[in-house]
Amino acid sequence: MSSDAESTERGRGRVLAVSTVGFTLMFAVWLMFGVLGIKIRDEFGLNDVQLSWITAVAVLNGSIWRLPAGIAADRWGGRKVFVVMLAFTALPAYLVSTASSYAVLLVYAFLVGFAGNAFSAGIAWVSAWWPQGRKGMALGVFGAGNVGASVTKFIGPAMIAAVPAGGLLFGVIPGGWRSVPMVYAILLVIMAAVTWFGTPHHDHTPGRGRSFKELLAPLKHARAWRFSLYYAVVFGAYVALAAWLPKYYVDVYDVPLSKAALLTALFIFPASLLRPVGGWISDKFGARRVMYATFGTMLVASGVLMMPYGHIVVLDGEGAASEVLPWHVGVVLFTVLVFVIGCAMGIGKAAVYKHIPEYFPHDVGAVGGLVGSLGALGGFFLPPLFAYTTSWTGLPQSTFFVLFALTLVAAVWMHVTVVNLLHSASPGLTHKFEHDQLTTTATDIEEAVPAVPRVTASTRSAGAHS
């Protein structure tokens, strides 16, 4: 390997390592209210709907700027954009620690939610540095920074308990739950400096010199919007559950907050750390097969979890009542099923993003930003929807009915699309899927979808005579 090649390899390695650490921190900041919310609810006397909006507004601001952030990274360089985002987020993180009322906290929670937009900037930055044949794994490693959602789950309860009411360092770090956003503010400033000085100073800018109209052109394709729905299922719902599960464990199973945080981490870890594995599996077996498996697994697990607890009362001829078919999901079975959903989400997230550099190699920032933005908006809408459906039905299990319904819609849309593509390619391929021995017959089968079956000349001939 030449010295230039070695330098490039080291450079892309530093970009991947630093961006992944930075994204992990930003993700921890973005979703910190999942654990802090219990203490915030107690201090401000909030109900569940009010509490859900604190998480929701943070998720909202972490979604709406993903498209501009991705385009900016493509146009001006991921390193510059990433550093600016780290430094900017430090200010609202500090402000959260000073909030004195629910209304003020809502504003600061919205501002600190900007941290969530780091994903699209990082995806564009990493994608620009890594070659096509290795993008899937590199993007999967970066995406594993989603594990940042568990950081507050681990350190939050311990820090809240350890920091005295009067704070530390002469009050610079406040006591109680406010210590967590203050520490994050300090870490964000440090990480901005590490990113600026620890990564190659030159940026790859695939969007430089192109008009914004050109950069936004791929968003006209229906596929980009369909991927956004898939991502709402595997990522938006992940964000929502990561914030919602601690409260669910506390309210439904009456476990202490520290234990609830650890049990939630059992969902977050596979949903984050399996993302590189999902990229590898998608490379090997095809991303659409992975999405079928993802949606199928989520439908089964959420279908079990959404069933109301109770029993059937049977009256005999003498009027005596007996209870049959009792149904109740204990904390162990609940945790196992949520873990399974987390595994499916972790693998599915990689499958969705595996396609973007292949379909839109010069527009990863724009398309990745759109998919990330609309997908993450699921994390904005779902927590209030969880709260409202629970309030309307009186059943906490309705949380998983919402997840089941969303997953079903995405799965049906995907299947209908695939079936239509197969029929349009050739009626003879109706029962074939991603066959490795087939090659494409058309220049545009769903605009060159890699996972669609390929058709050879012999197959065309057979189809013509059938």
Please list the pLDDT of the chain residue by residue as tens digits (466 residues): 555 565 677 788 899 999 999 999 998 998 888 778 888 988 899 887 888 889 888 988 988 888 888 888 888 888 999 999 999 999 999 999 999 899 999 999 999 999 989 988 898 898 888 776 677 678 778 877 877 777 777 777 777 777 766 666 655 677 788 888 999 999 999 999 999 999 998 877 766 766 667 767 767 777 788 888 999 999 889 888 987 898 899 888 998 878 888 898 899 888 888 888 887 888 788 788 899 999 999 999 999 999 887 666 666 666 676 666 677 888 999 999 999 999 999 999 888 877 777 677 767 667 777 787 888 888 788 888 888 898 898 888 999 999 999 999 999 998 988 888 777 766 655 555 444 444 444 334 444 444 444 333 333 333 333 3
Q: At what angle do helices 48-64 and 66-76 cross, to 10 degrees?
A: 30
* Number of C-beta neighbours around residue 333 at 10 A: 12
pLDDT score recorded for residue 457: 37
Task: Report the alpha-carbon distance of residue 10 to residue 8 in Å, rounded.
Answer: 5
In terms of Cβ atoms closer than 10 Å to its own Cβ (0-12, 13-18, 19+), residue 275 is buried
- Name the residue with tokens 């987390």: 342
pLDDT score recorded for residue 459: 38
Task: Report the alpha-carbon distance of residue 177 to residue 290 in Å, rounded.
Answer: 40
In terms of Cβ atoms closer than 10 Å to its own Cβ (0-12, 13-18, 19+), residue 431 is exposed
DSSP 8-state secondary structure symbol assigned to residue 324: E
Task: At 323, list the tokens.
Answer: 């209870």
- Opening angle at CA 150, ends 308 and 409, nearest 5: 45
Residue 382's nearest CA partner among 248, 233, 231 is: 233
- Please report, for residues 20, 43, 124, 129, 133, the alpha-carbon distance to residue 16 in angstroms, rounded to integers and kept in the order given: 6, 40, 11, 9, 16
DSSP 8-state secondary structure symbol assigned to residue 433: -
pLDDT score recorded for residue 102: 93
Task: Report the alpha-carbon distance of residue 326 to residue 342 in Å, rounded.
Answer: 27
pLDDT score recorded for residue 88: 96
Max CA-CA distance within the chain? 91
Task: Report the alpha-carbon distance of residue 107 to residue 163 in Å, rounded.
Answer: 25
Contact present, 19 and 125 (Cβ < 8 Å): yes
- Name the residue with tokens 């009542």: 321
pLDDT score recorded for residue 146: 74
- Distance from the Cα of residue 228 to its chain's centroid: 11
Continuous segment of H or E residues that includes residue 322: strand 321-327
Residues 6+ apart with CB under 8 A from 118: 22, 23, 26, 27, 69, 82, 85, 86
Task: At 197, list the tokens.
Answer: 């000085």
Task: Report the alpha-carbon distance of residue 272 to residue 269 in Å, rounded.
Answer: 5
Continuous segment of H or E residues that includes residue 287: helix 287-305
Continuous segment of H or E residues that includes residue 323: strand 321-327
